[in-house]
């Protein structure tokens, strides 16, 4: 993994036009993904994860728009590129996107090989023969017999379809694959297999991966760095080992406690009660305020800036006015502190 930023997102705000007004789905988000990095994005349902990823490729629903911020890919600002430029230069061959619920995104009427050849025709200079040879290699990487590239999607199981989609994403050798919940709808064994293939791809192919998942254990086990989102804001971003062992943001602290630690499988799960707000208009406060055991009046008056977790850390950022207090309490141990709105169970608003 290199430290060169491949993707840089700065102060990104994304809004959807709705009947009630402009809904802010992502507010002032900043993070960077380096070359060869495996980057996880976690946060409960509706916190803006898909919106964040969709905005990178300008693939938002038609009522959605980036209202502020910069998206830089390999140093070039891409947020204002035209559809044509994005298609010709960026999509698939630089950044491939595996959408949420993508298992059914394969065309049922076309052989998978035909779909690969079409993709190559649109986004690369490969001729048909080269494309097919290359696609066979990709099938091998995702663990499907290369001869099966000519099958139709219905001849595949759910897990195989998902792997075929990953093969398509890999096919034109993008530098970054963005995968939105690539294992939902699969059984646990198949989920494990898919994540193993993704691990393998990071190791063997060296592609950077940005992964959204509800499975925080996968992020803690496999990713290099992660972003934790809440209510459209990036709560914390940094190396996984730091956020796992020393979370500084109240939400990541509670989230970390809510999931069973692989080293402590019998620990009670916790619930974070309440719902993130549906934000109409600009977000001018901390969206965690109504659920946060550390909240003060200040948290309602302005959004907390995303700042270095500690003065000497250039790789770990937190947006919380009380990050130092939270860290100190975490260092003292969590036994003395029980959030008023915490109880045993599972994550309230997750699937």
Ligand X SMILES: Nc1ncnc2c1ncn2[C@@H]1O[C@H](COP(=O)(O)OP(=O)(O)OP(=O)(O)O)[C@@H](O)[C@H]1O
Q: Any long-range contacts for 263-268 (C-beta under 8 Å, 24+ apart)? A: 268/344
Q: Does 213 bind Mg ion (CB under 5 A)?
A: no
Q: Does 45 bind ligand X (CB under 6 A)?
A: yes
Within a 10 A sphere around the Cβ of 186, how many other Cβ atoms?
A: 18
Binding mask 219-258 for ligand X (x = CB under 6 A): ----------------------------------------
322 binds, among Mg ion, ligand X, ligand SF4, none (CB under 5 to 8 A by kind): ligand SF4
- Choose, by CB under 5 A, the member of 15, 24, 34, 50 that binds Mg ion: 50
Tokens 């891409």 sit at which residue?
A: 78
Q: How many whole angstroms separate alpha carbon 265 and alpha carbon 263?
A: 6
Nearest CA to 81 out of 92, 71, 67, 69 is that of: 71
286 binds, among ligand X, ligand SF4, Mg ion, none (CB under 5 to 8 A by kind): ligand SF4
Residue 270 Ramachandran class (φ > 0 left, ψ -120 to 50 alpha, else beta): beta
Tokens 């940094």 sit at which residue?
A: 238
Residues between 99 and 118 with contacts to Mg ion, criterion CB under 5 A: 100
Q: How many whole angstroms separate alpha carbon 290 and alpha carbon 273?
A: 10
Binding mask 122-151 for ligand SF4 (x = CB under 6 A): ------------------------------
DSSP string covering 264-299: BTTSPPEEE-S-----BS---S-TTGGG-TT--THH
Residues between 266 and 285 with contacts to ligand X, criterion CB under 6 A: 278
Give the residue with the Cβ less far from ligand X, 18 or 155. 18
What letter would DSSP give residue 260? P
Give the residue with the Cβ less far from ligand X, 25 or 177. 25
Q: Applying CB under 5 A, which residues contact Mg ion?
A: 50, 100
Residue ranges binding ligand X (CB under 6 A): 16, 18, 23, 25, 43, 45-51, 61, 63-64, 100, 278
């Amino acid at each position: 993994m290199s430290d060169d930023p491949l993707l840089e997102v700065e102060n990104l705000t994304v809004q959807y036009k709705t009947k009630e007004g402009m809904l802010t789905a992502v507010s002032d988000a900043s993070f960077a993904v380096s070359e060869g990095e495996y980057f996880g994005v976690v946060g409960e349902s509706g916190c803006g994860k898909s919106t964040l990823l969709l905005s990178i490729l300008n693939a938002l629903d038609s009522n959605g728009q980036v209202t502020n911020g910069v998206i830089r890919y390999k140093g070039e600002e891409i947020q204002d590129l035209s559809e044509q430029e994005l298609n010709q230069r960026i999509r698939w061959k630089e950044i491939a996107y595996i959408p949420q619920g993508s298992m059914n995104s394969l065309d049922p009427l076309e052989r998978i090989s035909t779909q690969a050849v079409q993709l190559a025709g649109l986004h690369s200079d490969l001729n048909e023969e080269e494309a097919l040879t290359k696609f066979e290699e990709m099938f091998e990487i995702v663990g499907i017999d290369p001869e099966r590239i000519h099958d139709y999607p219905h001849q595949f199981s759910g897990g195989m379809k998902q792997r075929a989609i990953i093969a398509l994403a890999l096919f034109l050798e993008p530098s970054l694959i963005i995968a939105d919940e690539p294992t939902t709808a699969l059984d646990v064994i198949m989920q494990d297999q898919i994540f193993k293939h993704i691990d393998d791809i990071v190791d063997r192919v060296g592609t950077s991966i940005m992964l959204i998942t509800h499975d925080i254990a996968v992020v803690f086990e496999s990713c290099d760095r992660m972003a934790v989102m809440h209510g459209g804001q990036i709560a914390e971003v940094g190396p996984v080992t730091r956020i796992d062992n020393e979370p500084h943001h109240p939400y990541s602290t509670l989230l970390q406690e809510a999931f069973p630690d692989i080293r402590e499988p019998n620990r009670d799960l916790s619930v974070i009660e309440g719902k993130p707000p549906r934000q109409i208009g600009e977000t001018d406060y901390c969206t965690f305020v109504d659920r946060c055991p550390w909240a003060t009046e200040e948290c309602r008056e302005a959004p907390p800036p995303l700042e270095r977790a500690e003065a000497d850390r250039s790789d770990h950022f937190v947006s919380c006015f009380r990050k130092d207090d939270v860290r100190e309490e975490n260092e003292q141990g969590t036994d003395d502190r029980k959030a008023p709105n915490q109880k045993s169970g599972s994550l309230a608003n997750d699937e």
